Amino acid sequence: MKTAQAGTLESSDIMITLSPQEPGDGVKIDIDSNVLHQYGEAIQAVIASTLAEAGVKDVWVKAVDRGALDYTIKARLLTALDRARRAA
Amino acid sequence: MMAIRRSMLFIPGNHPGMLQNGGVFGADSVILDLEDAVAPTEKDAARRLVGMALKNADYGDSEKVVRINPLDCDGAVDIAAIVPCAPDAILLPKVQNAAELREAAALIASAEVAGQKPVKIIALIETPRGLANALEIAEADPRVVALAFGAEDYTAGLGAVRSKEGGEILTARALLINAAAAAGIDAIDTPFTDANDDAGLAEDAGLARRIGFKGKLAINPRQVDVIHEAFNPSEKEIDWAERVVFAIEQAQAQGSGVIAVDGKMVDAPIVNRAKRTLEMARMLGLKKEDGQ
Amino acid sequence: MMINAIGREIPEVVEGYGPVKSFAGAFATPPGMQRQAPAVKAARPGDSKLLDGLEEVFRRIPVRDGMTLSFHHHFRNGDGVVNQVLATAARLGIKNLKVALSSVFPVHAPLVEHFKTGVVTALDTNYMSGPVAEAVSRGVLAQPVVLRTHGGRARAIECGQLKIDVAFIAAPAADPCGNINGVTGPTACGSLGYAFPDAEYADHVVAVTDHLEAYPLSPVSIPQTRVDYVVKIERIGDPKGIVSGTTRITKDPVQLKIADTAAKVIEAAGLIRDGFSFQTGAGGASLAVAHFVRQMMKKARITGSFALGGITGHLVEMLEEGLFKKIIDVQGFDLEAVRSIASNPNHLEVSAGFYASPFNAGCAVNQLDCVILGATEIDTDFNVNVVTGSDGVIMGGSGGHSDAAAGAGLTIVVANLLRGRLPIIMDKVLTATTPGETIDVLVTEWGVAVNPRRAELREQLLAAGLPVKEIGELKAIAEKMAGKPKEVPLGSRIVAVVEYRDGTVLDVVRQAK
């Protein structure tokens, strides 16, 4: 797995950057969002569950959110994962 | 129930904001676009996003169509990713012949999951060869429910000059409509590309309807209402259709097969058209209820 | 604590504001008072009003600690007068001023420093955005800001609740005797309507200009009889921030859809008829509604009576096409509006009180058939918030929102059901700025909701085939898409008091964290 990115900074989108970590480092998620107060936990939960489903254990996720809905977050994260794995 | 496709609205496939709002414009079909609207480096992202939108976004009563990339440009990857997300139809671009259509149909069949409603195909005819083969394409597979016309690429293929009046595509339109009619499916017209010219669109859509198209592609949500206006049966047409159907019912009751309405002979194709008009008016809520 | 007529909990006394008169209903509180009267003046032949610079003005009046200085916002984000006057106050060591500025823009950022140094300790305004609003929300002032409506500010000045010591009036053109207009000079802004009450009721009136013309100036918006001093400075504002070239209609397809639906609501309500009167804003979907209404009026071949409010080139074109007989203009938004008010006798300049004050013998908003308004949030009782953003930080204000809503026969709020990810419809808006009883219809891209008080209107819209839903249904659609937002935690300190146009208190704004 290599560092990879997906999404844009347009309204209703989210830009996700994945960086592989050493085995055992675990999942680290950083979120910047214009709706952090209202949806920060929801964004965190979608990212965590999508990573778990995909079996990813050691990764740093940086998410810059512009009000994306849950399914958009999931699509962008999965695209970033596809790209990270393809690059490896 | 007959399918109504007066307007088929393109929604860019890598644009989350447009995808989540695609259902608000009242288009009869939305076409989530993986082809021209998506940059080559973002095809993978759009595929994921459109798949998610199909499963999660609310497109109301709109038919959900996905325009995939041509089969020689990862179209097979699109089909494998999109079909399990249950679109109503796939819009297959740049179809040249029946073999290509059958190849896509086979890919769709193998991508469908158990219990899924069969995914239809709309063939986008946008090359001179595709137009020459329109009838065999229309009849290549029972999944094909419509032929759609893409005039921009087609005229480029001819070396013709594209104009607002569209004299250069009249023959192509007629051939495509004829092929669709021969196969018993719908013909959908090319989009009107000037999104700011409502009057021009109204004229172009009116012409399309008069020569036999059942609907029109739309590249901007603002076009939807104008297109509907053009393709809705008028009060006069509904009134005529009611009289035709009434006359044929009376004739049948009296055991006679021959009828005339307004002094003109009415036979089976005309009765069918009248019935289609009434069915459409009923589905669109345009028909006056009895006693009103 | 007491509960007002829209169910908001308000303290009986707010520290730094005083005893609270609770909102009782849009027209429930009668004035029961006399008008304010400023001191009587006299001038002799040979007296000169021309002073040499702002410091000279401060010395002549003289401006002292604790005074209230007022300003208009016709220069919007291009204003240069407020900052220069307050810099003068700071230089002269004056403290504890109250600033009564009809709207605060990002250009007024230096105010924050004046708050911190104690030069300015109180603010009275109808709208604020940018760094000042942010700082107020974070609690920079000990005393809560009073947030009024445009009509309410006129009322407060005329009735003595907002007592102005010195009105500094930014004047695009002035003569040495103090005649002022807004239509000539490099900073021409059109109507000067919001400055009229200040000129009429302040103890001292100062015209601040960078364009002095020979006596007598014409046309006259504010007359020499009310102006004590005239001061010419190098630059009173930046034309680029004052008016835009032309206000463009949105290209956003969702906003166009909303605007188109709003126009159909107006038509379904039977208002597209001779004598139609109309107000709409310049932003987002609002201006686009004017575009669709214009097409409908042309198609129906009708002539409206007047367009009101903030005026854009679009409304000017409608006047010139004969779709409206008059424009009643309290504020111009673009160059076309300035050109028109300067040249067309059917384009009338009116004061803030004429426009919208609830306590006079009749204001223009009462003559409106229809107004189109925006919203940051709306609740299931149709109360609207246009003051605070979703994070609790102040980003706007009523301006004329509650005035026009109260006056118009049909008040339509246009808004995207989701703003980014945030649903526009809440159980309870964060800050109530316009009471739900004055809102008739909410138009979103996902459907139209009608206030239950307007049952007959609901029937009209249904008959026209419009997508009418309950406001609760629309809320559910939004939350299905976006999820239910978590409430934003706020502090307990009151940083602003939201006054309704009649001076009663609708709500308070608490400190943002």
pTM: 0.94
Reported ipTM: 0.96
Nearest to A12 among C390, C420, C483 (CB): C420
Place of tokens 């004598």: C275
pLDDT for res B290: 47
What's the DSSP call for residue C400? Answer: T
Kindly state whether C513 is in contact with chain A, defined as any CB-CB distance less than 8 angstroms: no
Query: Chain B: nearest CA to A33, how far in angstroms?
Result: 16
Given a cut of 50, whether residue B292 has pLDDT beyond it is no
Give the percent of chain A with pLDDT over 70: 99
Among C158, C160, C176, C178, which Cα is nearest to C168's?
C178
pLDDT per position as a tens digit, C125-135: 999 999 999 99
Q: Which residues of B are annotated as a binding site for Mg(2+)?
A: 126, 153
Confidence of residue B248 (pLDDT cuts 50, 70, 90): confident
Name the superfamily (CATH) of residues C253-486.
Glutaconate Coenzyme A-transferase (3.40.1080.10)
Q: At A78, give phi and psi (nearest 5°).
A: -65, -40
Residues 6+ apart with CB under 8 A from C194: C72, C73, C74, C102, C150, C153, C330, C331, C352
Nearest to B52 among A13, A74, A83 (CB): A74
Higher-scoring residue by pLDDT: C487, B188 = B188
Length of chain C, please? 513
Cα separation, C190 vs C212, whole angstroms: 17
User: If DSSP codes are grouped into helix, strand and coil, which group holds residue B187?
Assistant: strand
What's the topology of domain C31-241?
Glutaconate Coenzyme A-transferase (3.40.1080)
Give me chain B's average pLDDT, please: 94
Confidence of residue C59 (pLDDT cuts 50, 70, 90): very high
pLDDT per position as a tens digit, C437-471: 999 999 999 999 999 999 999 999 999 999 999 99
pLDDT for res C390: 86
Read off the pLDDT of each residue in B177-187 and give the average, rounded to a whole number. Answer: 97
pLDDT for res C217: 97
Confidence of residue B291 (pLDDT cuts 50, 70, 90): very low
Q: Which residue of B has its CA nearest to A8?
A: B15
Q: Which residue of A has its CA nearest to B49?
A: A75
Given a cut of 70, whether residue C149 has pLDDT beyond it is yes
Cα separation, B10 vs C253, whole angstroms: 13
Nearest to A68 among C391, C421, C487 (CB): C421
Cβ proximity of A22 and A58 under 8 Å = yes
pLDDT per position as a tens digit, C327-386: 999 999 999 999 999 999 999 999 999 999 999 999 999 999 999 999 999 999 999 999
CB pairs under 8 A between A and B: 44
Given a cut of 90, whether residue B287 has pLDDT beyond it is no
pLDDT for res B161: 94
Cβ proximity of B7 and B28 under 8 Å = yes
Q: Which of A32, A33, A34, A38 to mutate to test the interface with C (most CBs of C within 10 A)?
A: A38
Which chain B residues contact residue C256 at CB under 8 A?
221-222
Given a cut of 70, whether residue C246 has pLDDT beyond it is no
Read off the pLDDT of each residue in B138-151 and give the average, rounded to a whole number. Answer: 98
Element (H, E) at C14: strand C13-14
Which chain C residues contact residue A37 at CB under 8 A?
390-391, 486, 488-489
Domains of chain C by residue range: 31-241, 253-486
pLDDT for res A87: 76
Given a cut of 90, whether residue B255 has pLDDT beyond it is no
Which chain A residues contact residue C420 at CB under 8 A?
11-12, 34-35, 66-67
Question: Do C31-241 and C253-486 fold alike per CATH?
Answer: yes
What subunits make at least 3 CB pairs under 8 angstroms with C?
A, B
Contact between chains at B17 and A10 (C-beta distance less than 8 A): yes
Task: Return the exposure string of C298-312: e unless at least 16 CB atoms fall within 10 Å of the residue's CB, then b.
Answer: eeeeeebbbbbbbbb
Which domains does chain A carry? 4-87 (3.30.230.10)
pLDDT for res B254: 83
pLDDT per position as a tens digit, C92-104: 999 999 999 999 9
Nearest to B221 among C257, C477, C481 (CB): C257
Q: Which residues of B are annotated as a binding site for substrate?
A: 67, 126
Confidence of residue B250 (pLDDT cuts 50, 70, 90): confident
Which chain B residues contact residue A10 at CB under 8 A?
15-17
Query: Chain A: nearest CA to C141, how far in angstroms?
Result: 25
pLDDT for res B289: 53
What's the DSSP call for residue C149? Answer: B
Given a cut of 90, whether residue C299 has pLDDT beyond it is yes
pLDDT per position as a tens digit, B61-81: 999 999 999 999 999 999 999
Given a cut of 50, whether residue C37 has pLDDT beyond it is yes
Least confident of A48-52, B255-259, C12-16, C162-166: B255-259
Tokens read off for B47: 């595929």
Which domains does chain B carry? 7-231 (3.20.20.60), 235-284 (no CATH)
Given a cut of 80, whether residue B115 has pLDDT beyond it is yes
Nearest to C445 among B24, B220, B222 (CB): B24
Which chain A residues contact residue B52 at CB under 8 A?
71-72, 74-75
Give me chain C's average pLDDT, please: 96
Kindly state whether C486 is in contact with chain A, defined as any CB-CB distance less than 8 angstroms: yes
CA distances to B90, C412, C458, C460, C461 from C455, rounded to whole Å, are: 45, 15, 5, 9, 10
Query: Chain C: nearest CA to B24, how far in angstroms?
Result: 6
